[in-house]
Structure 1
Amino acid sequence: MSTATAARSTRVDKPRKAWRPWGLVAWICGLIFVAPVLWMVLTSLHSEPDAATNPPSLGAPLTFDGYAEFFSGTGGAGPWPPLINSFSASIGSTVLVLLLAIPAAYALSIKPVEKWTDVLFFFLSTKMMPVVAALLPIYLVAQYSGMLDNISFLTVLYTSMNLPIAVWLMRSFLAEVPKEILEAAAIDGAGLFTILRRVVAPVAMPGIAATALICFIFSWNELLFARVLTGVVAGTAPVYLTGFVTSQGLFLAKVCAAATVVSLPVLIAGFAAQDKLVQGLSLGAVK
């Protein structure tokens, strides 16, 4: 008996020892991805002469002059209007996407409509065309409708861009909701909106949080349409960052400070919803 136990112990220990190097590989990959962000933050805390040295000086004195110049709007418009525009477009489009994607995913997963696979393919086909190919038609629509440099038009545009991927994600999440819970709610007399609000939403909250975070990141980082369709009034934070590339040169410390501030909302949202994101993505959206 002791020999069998020792053999089982040996068989169990071998996979653990074999997988230990992969933990080191994971840490190395994580550091490789995080290193540019840490380098950007460190450069933003240097003065312009120290940031421009080649090779860069790691032991240079730290200063917040770059952040002070960024928030004061030295040499141009302040950063607050672009940041507010980005928040408005990103949060507004994310809310609209969820309001449209959850009922659509419910119809495609829990209460499947006829030829639901064709519907899913139609949603996916809208992402097959290159974004730049739709730039001119969308610009003409905005021009003739008087919606150029309008944050509301940008919000609707971001909603249409993120809706297909949100429907695909939410369908995978809602497919994991136990059918018995829905049947019990229907037997108790709950209507469709009651089931969505009080049954489906709490159970699928990790998936909803993951979808919302992904849509928020896509909207916050979008540059092409924001650059072409906006100007002085509705310019977003990524568009504001492009203004740092001037004929006078590139002020590296100030650019890194601006990029750090613009990246903070996405990083904060990611850390705040980290557990929901991991739990949501493990429900089947990446199978």
Structure 2
Amino acid sequence: MVCIDHVPDTRSIVFFPRAARKARRRGTALGVLAWLVGIAFCLPAMWMLLTSLHSEPDAATNPPSLTAPLTLDSYRKFFGAAGGASPWPSLINSTSASLVSTLLVLVLALPAAYALSVRPVRKWTDVMFFFLSTKMLPVVAGLLPVYLFAKNAGMLDNIWLLIILYTSMNLPIAVWMMQSFLADVPVSIIEAAQVDGARLPTILARIVAPVAGPGIAATALICFIFSWNEMLFARVLTSVTAQTAPVFLTGFVTSQGLFLAQLCAASVVVSLPVLAAGFAAQDKLVQGLSLGAVK
């Protein structure tokens, strides 16, 4: 006599493999779509790299030739091997302005974000809105007052003027980002350090900064990219001494025409520091941008 109570449910045997196959196909389709989107985003950079390896006549053909011979003449001309202007002063100026301004932003934004998150001040939401409202003014609207101030102060074509401007421009973004990162720092750790007699600088340097390290790294990278890519103020307020890399790129557009291959080679070189910084900090960047996403 067979007991029907122990007969297995064959519906589960059929259903779960079918659901697994459907989920696998869905995951494969999403993966292929992600690859296609990623390739679409990388195509302009790949095309710029390929154009930089062509000669000027081959780069100017329409439609462009993919089978044209490759050469490094554009890079030799960019670095001054063929009698052109040296890009090193501009690259050094961009590096100095970006690194110093990013460091100043982090030093100023960390205590401000601490006061707005871990130890919130009164009406801290109004303070956050004020920081955000400073980015609502178009940059070009403040160009003339800044130019007149720099002229009267004798700071035109001065790298320190750009450092001050980049610091003030990136500080609201840094405070806004780091406030959300520092909000995830456990208050109990800070209170334990205070019981042990730790002062505020020690708490910020040895407790808050390591815990919120990924968020601080993400903020630093974004501020560095914004400073490195800024061209409007650098174009108006500098000429030769404090000229930055984006301003140097505009020199390839002359009355004689557009030197496309040289411009692409210069763009590749100028993009390398940002790409290197992003690649070096990619782990902390992903962690930092995902902080607070899952509660």
Instruction: State the TM bucket, normalised to the shorter chain.
Output: over 0.9
1:55 to 55, 58, 63: 63
C-alpha separation in 1, matches of 2:209 and 2:9: 52
C-alpha separation in 2, matches of 1:191 and 1:8: 58
2:110 to 102, 108, 114: 102
Any stretches of 5+ residues in structure 1 without a counterpart?
A: none
2:261 to 253, 260, 265: 253
| TM-score under structure 2 length normalisation | 0.92
TM superposition outliers: structure 1 runs of 4+ over 6 Å: none
Partner AA of 1:237 in structure 2: A
CA apart distance, 1:27: 1.0
C-alpha separation in 2, matches of 1:16 and 1:179: 42
Partner AA of 1:263 in structure 2: S
Q: Percent identity?
A: 71
Q: Over aligned residue pairs, what C-alpha RMSD do you find? A: 1.8
C-alpha separation in 2, matches of 1:285 and 1:264: 30
| Partner in structure 2 of residue 222 of structure 1 | 230
Instruction: State the secondary structure of the residue aligned to 2:254.
Output: coil
Query: Is 1:20 paired with 2:33?
Result: no
Q: Is the 8 A contact 1:73 1:79 kept in 2?
A: no
Query: Is 1:194 paired with 2:199?
Result: no
| Partner in structure 1 of residue 137 of structure 2 | 129
Instruction: State the secondary structure of the residue aligned to 1:72.
Output: coil
CA apart distance, 1:20: 2.9
CA apart distance, 1:284: 2.9
CA apart distance, 1:73: 6.3
Any stretches of 5+ residues in structure 2 without a counterpart?
A: 1-7
Q: Is the 8 A contact 1:67 1:257 kept in 2?
A: yes
1:41 to 49, 69, 73: 49
C-alpha separation in 2, matches of 1:62 and 1:97: 43
Query: Is 1:116 paired with 2:128?
Result: no
Q: Deviations over 1:234-269 (max 9, x none)?
A: 010000000110011111111110110001000111
| Partner in structure 1 of residue 239 of structure 2 | 231
Query: Is 1:283 paired with 2:257?
Result: no
Residues 170-179 or 155-164, more deviating: 170-179
Q: Deviations over 1:190-222 (max 9, x none)?
A: 111111111111111100110000000000000
Q: Is the 8 A contact 2:77 2:84 kept in 1?
A: no
| Partner in structure 1 of residue 162 of structure 2 | 154
2:100 to 92, 95, 113: 92
CA apart distance, 1:70: 0.4
C-alpha separation in 2, matches of 1:21 and 1:220: 37
C-alpha separation in 2, matches of 1:260 and 1:286: 37
C-alpha separation in 2, matches of 1:9 and 1:193: 58
Q: 1:13 to 1:187 in 2, by over 3 A?
A: farther
Number of aligned residue pairs: give it.
287
Residues 182-191 or 208-217, more deviating: 182-191
C-alpha separation in 2, matches of 1:219 and 1:239: 13
CA apart distance, 1:188: 2.0
Q: 1:2 to 1:265 in 2, by over 3 A?
A: farther
CA apart distance, 1:5: 5.1
| Partner in structure 2 of residue 170 of structure 1 | 178
Q: Deviations over 1:169-205 (max 9, x none)?
A: 0001101112222222222221111111111111111
Partner AA of 1:44 in structure 2: S
Partner AA of 1:38 in structure 2: M
C-alpha separation in 1, matches of 2:46 and 2:38: 12
For the pair shown, the structure with the greater C-alpha radius of gyration is: 2
Q: Is the 8 A contact 1:173 1:285 kept in 2?
A: no
C-alpha separation in 1, matches of 2:293 and 2:67: 45
CA apart distance, 1:228: 0.4
